[in-house]
Amino acid sequence: MLKPGSTMVPLPSSGRTYTLTRRVRLGDVSPNGRARFDAVARWLQDIANDDAHDANLPDAMSWVVRRTAIELVQPAVFREQLELTTFCSGTGRSWAERRTVIRGDKGAHLETEAIWVSVDGQTGAPVRLAPSFEEIFGESAMGRRVKARLSHDDPPDSIGTRSWPLRFVDFDVVGHVNNAAYWAVVEEELARRRELRGVLRAELEFGGGIDRRPSVDLAVSDTDDAVAIWYLTDGTPKASARVTRIG
Protein backbone atom coordinates (compact mmCIF):
# COMPACT_ATOMS: atom_id res chain seq x y z
CA MET A 1 0.00 0.00 0.00
CA LEU A 2 1.28 3.45 -0.90
CA LYS A 3 1.22 6.25 1.61
CA PRO A 4 -1.74 8.66 1.33
CA GLY A 5 -1.10 11.28 -1.35
CA SER A 6 1.71 9.40 -3.08
CA THR A 7 1.95 9.96 -6.84
CA MET A 8 3.83 6.71 -7.41
CA VAL A 9 2.03 3.96 -9.28
CA PRO A 10 1.21 0.73 -7.41
CA LEU A 11 2.54 -2.72 -8.17
CA PRO A 12 1.09 -3.99 -11.46
CA SER A 13 -1.53 -6.72 -11.54
CA SER A 14 0.26 -8.35 -14.48
CA GLY A 15 3.57 -8.12 -16.29
CA ARG A 16 7.15 -8.61 -15.24
CA THR A 17 8.28 -7.93 -11.68
CA TYR A 18 11.60 -8.90 -10.17
CA THR A 19 12.18 -9.53 -6.45
CA LEU A 20 15.24 -10.10 -4.33
CA THR A 21 15.95 -10.17 -0.61
CA ARG A 22 18.82 -8.72 1.35
CA ARG A 23 19.73 -7.90 4.92
CA VAL A 24 20.69 -4.41 6.10
CA ARG A 25 24.40 -4.62 6.90
CA LEU A 26 26.79 -2.61 9.04
CA GLY A 27 28.05 -0.56 6.10
CA ASP A 28 24.50 0.48 5.20
CA VAL A 29 23.49 2.27 8.39
CA SER A 30 23.99 5.55 10.23
CA PRO A 31 25.19 5.62 13.87
CA ASN A 32 21.58 5.29 15.03
CA GLY A 33 21.07 2.17 12.92
CA ARG A 34 18.96 3.69 10.12
CA ALA A 35 19.71 2.57 6.57
CA ARG A 36 21.19 5.62 4.84
CA PHE A 37 19.95 7.08 1.56
CA ASP A 38 23.25 6.25 -0.16
CA ALA A 39 22.78 2.60 0.83
CA VAL A 40 19.24 2.64 -0.58
CA ALA A 41 20.59 4.13 -3.82
CA ARG A 42 23.08 1.26 -4.11
CA TRP A 43 20.30 -1.28 -3.59
CA LEU A 44 18.22 0.38 -6.31
CA GLN A 45 21.18 0.39 -8.68
CA ASP A 46 21.89 -3.28 -7.99
CA ILE A 47 18.33 -4.55 -8.42
CA ALA A 48 17.92 -2.57 -11.65
CA ASN A 49 21.06 -4.15 -13.06
CA ASP A 50 20.14 -7.63 -11.80
CA ASP A 51 16.68 -7.37 -13.35
CA ALA A 52 18.07 -6.25 -16.72
CA HIS A 53 20.54 -9.13 -16.78
CA ASP A 54 17.96 -11.67 -15.62
CA ALA A 55 15.66 -10.52 -18.44
CA ASN A 56 18.53 -10.88 -20.97
CA LEU A 57 18.02 -7.25 -21.93
CA PRO A 58 20.49 -6.24 -24.66
CA ASP A 59 23.05 -3.67 -23.42
CA ALA A 60 21.93 -4.23 -19.83
CA MET A 61 24.79 -2.07 -18.54
CA SER A 62 24.11 0.85 -20.91
CA TRP A 63 21.74 2.84 -18.71
CA VAL A 64 22.31 6.01 -16.67
CA VAL A 65 20.05 7.37 -13.96
CA ARG A 66 18.39 10.72 -14.69
CA ARG A 67 16.44 11.22 -11.48
CA THR A 68 15.51 9.22 -8.39
CA ALA A 69 12.79 9.76 -5.81
CA ILE A 70 12.64 7.90 -2.49
CA GLU A 71 9.61 8.14 -0.21
CA LEU A 72 10.76 7.09 3.24
CA VAL A 73 7.64 5.96 5.08
CA GLN A 74 9.44 3.79 7.65
CA PRO A 75 13.25 3.45 7.57
CA ALA A 76 15.03 0.14 7.33
CA VAL A 77 17.27 -0.66 10.29
CA PHE A 78 20.39 -2.67 11.03
CA ARG A 79 19.98 -6.43 10.50
CA GLU A 80 16.47 -6.07 9.08
CA GLN A 81 15.59 -8.53 6.35
CA LEU A 82 14.27 -6.70 3.29
CA GLU A 83 12.29 -7.67 0.22
CA LEU A 84 12.76 -5.46 -2.84
CA THR A 85 10.38 -5.71 -5.77
CA THR A 86 11.03 -3.74 -8.95
CA PHE A 87 9.12 -3.25 -12.20
CA CYS A 88 8.93 -0.95 -15.20
CA SER A 89 6.18 1.62 -14.57
CA GLY A 90 6.44 3.77 -17.69
CA THR A 91 8.46 4.49 -20.82
CA GLY A 92 9.58 7.34 -23.06
CA ARG A 93 11.57 7.63 -26.26
CA SER A 94 14.97 6.73 -24.79
CA TRP A 95 14.14 6.20 -21.13
CA ALA A 96 12.03 4.19 -18.74
CA GLU A 97 10.71 4.62 -15.23
CA ARG A 98 11.55 1.92 -12.72
CA ARG A 99 9.55 1.55 -9.53
CA THR A 100 11.00 -0.35 -6.58
CA VAL A 101 9.11 -1.17 -3.39
CA ILE A 102 11.11 -2.03 -0.29
CA ARG A 103 9.52 -3.77 2.70
CA GLY A 104 11.18 -5.21 5.80
CA ASP A 105 10.37 -7.72 8.53
CA LYS A 106 10.72 -4.96 11.14
CA GLY A 107 8.35 -2.57 9.41
CA ALA A 108 10.59 -0.88 6.83
CA HIS A 109 8.65 0.72 3.99
CA LEU A 110 10.20 2.71 1.15
CA GLU A 111 8.58 3.59 -2.17
CA THR A 112 10.98 4.59 -4.94
CA GLU A 113 10.95 5.55 -8.59
CA ALA A 114 13.77 6.35 -10.96
CA ILE A 115 14.12 7.45 -14.56
CA TRP A 116 16.88 5.55 -16.37
CA VAL A 117 18.09 6.64 -19.81
CA SER A 118 19.24 4.10 -22.39
CA VAL A 119 22.58 5.20 -23.83
CA ASP A 120 25.10 4.10 -26.42
CA GLY A 121 27.80 2.18 -24.57
CA GLN A 122 30.57 3.84 -26.58
CA THR A 123 29.43 7.46 -26.92
CA GLY A 124 27.08 7.85 -23.96
CA ALA A 125 24.43 9.44 -26.22
CA PRO A 126 20.76 8.51 -25.61
CA VAL A 127 19.36 5.81 -27.89
CA ARG A 128 15.79 4.77 -28.55
CA LEU A 129 14.41 1.89 -26.53
CA ALA A 130 14.80 -1.34 -28.47
CA PRO A 131 11.69 -3.32 -29.49
CA SER A 132 12.86 -6.07 -27.14
CA PHE A 133 12.42 -3.69 -24.21
CA GLU A 134 8.69 -3.37 -24.92
CA GLU A 135 8.40 -7.13 -25.28
CA ILE A 136 9.93 -7.70 -21.85
CA PHE A 137 8.66 -4.76 -19.80
CA GLY A 138 5.73 -3.33 -21.74
CA GLU A 139 2.95 -5.19 -19.94
CA SER A 140 3.89 -3.88 -16.48
CA ALA A 141 4.20 -0.32 -17.84
CA MET A 142 0.60 -0.58 -19.18
CA GLY A 143 1.23 2.03 -21.88
CA ARG A 144 2.08 4.74 -19.34
CA ARG A 145 4.31 7.44 -20.86
CA VAL A 146 6.79 9.35 -18.68
CA LYS A 147 9.08 12.32 -19.22
CA ALA A 148 12.78 12.67 -18.42
CA ARG A 149 12.55 16.43 -17.88
CA LEU A 150 14.25 17.81 -14.75
CA SER A 151 12.16 19.90 -12.36
CA HIS A 152 14.51 21.42 -9.78
CA ASP A 153 15.28 25.15 -9.92
CA ASP A 154 18.83 26.50 -10.18
CA PRO A 155 20.39 27.81 -6.95
CA PRO A 156 19.76 31.45 -5.99
CA ASP A 157 22.49 33.82 -7.19
CA SER A 158 23.17 34.98 -3.64
CA ILE A 159 23.72 31.57 -2.11
CA GLY A 160 27.16 30.65 -0.77
CA THR A 161 29.09 27.50 -1.57
CA ARG A 162 31.53 25.15 0.08
CA SER A 163 33.84 22.49 -1.29
CA TRP A 164 33.00 18.77 -1.39
CA PRO A 165 36.26 16.80 -1.76
CA LEU A 166 35.88 13.81 -4.07
CA ARG A 167 37.45 10.46 -3.26
CA PHE A 168 38.75 7.68 -5.48
CA VAL A 169 35.94 5.41 -4.21
CA ASP A 170 33.27 7.90 -5.40
CA PHE A 171 33.98 7.09 -9.07
CA ASP A 172 32.58 4.10 -10.92
CA VAL A 173 33.54 2.07 -13.97
CA VAL A 174 32.48 4.79 -16.45
CA GLY A 175 34.72 7.37 -14.74
CA HIS A 176 31.93 9.50 -13.25
CA VAL A 177 30.85 10.01 -9.66
CA ASN A 178 28.50 7.10 -8.96
CA ASN A 179 24.92 8.14 -8.30
CA ALA A 180 24.98 6.66 -4.78
CA ALA A 181 27.88 8.95 -3.79
CA TYR A 182 25.72 12.06 -4.26
CA TRP A 183 23.40 10.76 -1.56
CA ALA A 184 26.26 10.89 0.96
CA VAL A 185 25.98 14.70 0.80
CA VAL A 186 22.27 14.41 1.58
CA GLU A 187 23.13 12.34 4.64
CA GLU A 188 25.69 14.94 5.78
CA GLU A 189 23.07 17.68 5.56
CA LEU A 190 20.49 15.62 7.43
CA ALA A 191 23.05 14.92 10.15
CA ARG A 192 23.98 18.61 10.38
CA ARG A 193 20.39 19.50 11.17
CA ARG A 194 19.86 16.32 13.22
CA GLU A 195 17.72 14.87 10.45
CA LEU A 196 14.20 15.65 9.33
CA ARG A 197 11.54 13.64 11.12
CA GLY A 198 8.40 12.03 9.76
CA VAL A 199 7.63 10.74 6.28
CA LEU A 200 10.21 12.12 3.85
CA ARG A 201 10.45 12.46 0.09
CA ALA A 202 14.02 12.69 -1.17
CA GLU A 203 14.79 13.47 -4.81
CA LEU A 204 18.04 13.60 -6.73
CA GLU A 205 18.26 14.88 -10.31
CA PHE A 206 21.27 14.59 -12.60
CA GLY A 207 21.94 17.21 -15.26
CA GLY A 208 25.27 15.66 -16.24
CA GLY A 209 27.95 13.43 -14.83
CA ILE A 210 30.77 14.74 -12.64
CA ASP A 211 34.10 13.44 -13.92
CA ARG A 212 37.45 13.06 -12.22
CA ARG A 213 38.39 16.25 -10.36
CA PRO A 214 39.59 17.06 -6.83
CA SER A 215 36.36 18.62 -5.57
CA VAL A 216 32.89 19.93 -6.33
CA ASP A 217 31.17 23.02 -4.93
CA LEU A 218 27.98 22.58 -2.92
CA ALA A 219 25.24 25.15 -2.43
CA VAL A 220 22.71 24.40 0.33
CA SER A 221 19.43 26.01 1.29
CA ASP A 222 17.10 24.77 4.00
CA THR A 223 13.87 25.49 5.83
CA ASP A 224 12.13 23.78 8.74
CA ASP A 225 10.63 21.15 6.44
CA ALA A 226 13.07 20.86 3.55
CA VAL A 227 16.71 20.82 2.43
CA ALA A 228 17.90 21.72 -1.09
CA ILE A 229 21.40 20.91 -2.37
CA TRP A 230 23.12 21.78 -5.65
CA TYR A 231 26.33 20.12 -6.89
CA LEU A 232 28.32 22.58 -9.05
CA THR A 233 31.40 22.33 -11.23
CA ASP A 234 32.89 25.58 -12.54
CA GLY A 235 29.75 27.35 -11.32
CA THR A 236 27.36 25.12 -13.29
CA PRO A 237 24.86 22.87 -11.49
CA LYS A 238 25.45 19.23 -12.43
CA ALA A 239 22.95 17.69 -10.02
CA SER A 240 20.52 18.72 -7.31
CA ALA A 241 18.82 17.11 -4.35
CA ARG A 242 15.70 17.87 -2.32
CA VAL A 243 14.51 16.33 0.93
CA THR A 244 11.04 17.37 2.07
CA ARG A 245 8.87 16.37 4.99
CA ILE A 246 5.56 15.16 3.57
CA GLY A 247 3.94 13.59 6.60
Q: Are residues 128 and 191 in the same domain?
A: no
Judged by average pLDDT, the poorest of 2-6, 163-167, 224-228 is 2-6
Domain boundary among 141, 171, 199: 141
Q: Are residues 124 and 234 in the same domain?
A: no
Q: Based on the number of CB atoms within 10 Å of its own CB, is 223 exposed (0-12), middle (13-18) or buried (19 or more)?
A: exposed
Backbone torsion region of residue 15, taken as left when φ is above 0, otherwise alpha when ψ lies between -120 and 50, otherwise beta? left
> Which pLDDT does position 152 carry in this prediction?
96
Half-sphere exposure of 169 (CA within 13 A, CB side): 1
Q: 3 pLDDT exceeds 80?
A: no
Q: Are residues 43 and 133 in the same domain?
A: yes
Look at the chain and report how many structural domains it folds into: 2
**Do the domain assignments include residue 148?**
no
Q: 184 pLDDT exceeds 70?
A: yes
Please answer whether residues 126 and 94 qualify as being in contact, where contact means their C-beta atoms are separated by less than 8 angstroms: yes
Q: Are residues 133 and 214 in the same domain?
A: no
Q: List 237's β-bridge partners, or say none.
A: 232
Please state the rounded mean pLDDT for residues 128-132: 93
Beta sheet of 215-222, edge-to-edge order: 18-23, 81-91, 95-104, 109-118, 63-74, 200-206, 236-245, 226-233, 215-222, 162-165
> Which pLDDT does position 186 carry in this prediction?
96
Q: Are residues 33 and 116 in the same domain?
A: yes
**Do the domain assignments include residue 5?**
no
What torsion, rounded to 10 degrees, do the Cα atoms 74, 220, 124, 138 define?
A: 30
**Do the domain assignments include residue 157?**
no
- Of the pLDDT bands very low, low, confident and very high (cuts 50, 70, 90), residue 30 is very high
**Do the domain assignments include residue 13?**
no
Q: Are residues 128 and 177 in the same domain?
A: no
Q: Are residues 41 and 105 in the same domain?
A: yes
C-alpha to C-alpha distance for 204 and 37, rounded to whole angstroms: 11
Domain boundary among 141, 172, 198: 141
**Residue 205 is part of which domain span?**
162-245
Q: Are residues 136 and 166 in the same domain?
A: no
> Which pLDDT does position 107 carry in this prediction?
98
Q: Are residues 134 and 28 in the same domain?
A: yes
Quote the mean pLDDT of the chain: 94
Please answer whether residues 85 and 11 qualify as being in contact, where contact means their C-beta atoms are separated by less than 8 angstroms: yes
**Do the domain assignments include residue 4?**
no
Q: 48 pLDDT exceeds 90?
A: yes
Please answer whether residues 146 and 91 qualify as being in contact, where contact means their C-beta atoms are separated by less than 8 angstroms: yes
Query: Tell me, what DSSP letter sits at residue 51?
Result: H
Q: Are residues 121 and 174 in the same domain?
A: no
**Do the domain assignments include residue 89?**
yes
C-alpha to C-alpha distance for 76 and 74, rounded to whole angstroms: 7
For 150-168, what is each residue's pLDDT tens digit? 999 999 988 999 999 999 9
C-beta neighbour count of 246 within 10 angstroms = 18
Q: Are residues 133 and 166 in the same domain?
A: no
**Do the domain assignments include residue 153?**
no
> Which pLDDT does position 4 carry in this prediction?
44
CATH number of the domain where residue 61 is located: 3.10.129.10
Q: Are residues 41 and 136 in the same domain?
A: yes
C-alpha to C-alpha distance for 154 and 122, rounded to whole angstroms: 30
- Of the pLDDT bands very low, low, confident and very high (cuts 50, 70, 90), residue 124 is confident
Domain boundary among 141, 171, 193: 141
**Do the domain assignments include residue 8?**
no
> Which pLDDT does position 2 carry in this prediction?
54
Sign of the dihedral through C-alpha 123, 38, 192, 241: positive
Please answer whether residues 85 and 19 qualify as being in contact, where contact means their C-beta atoms are separated by less than 8 angstroms: yes
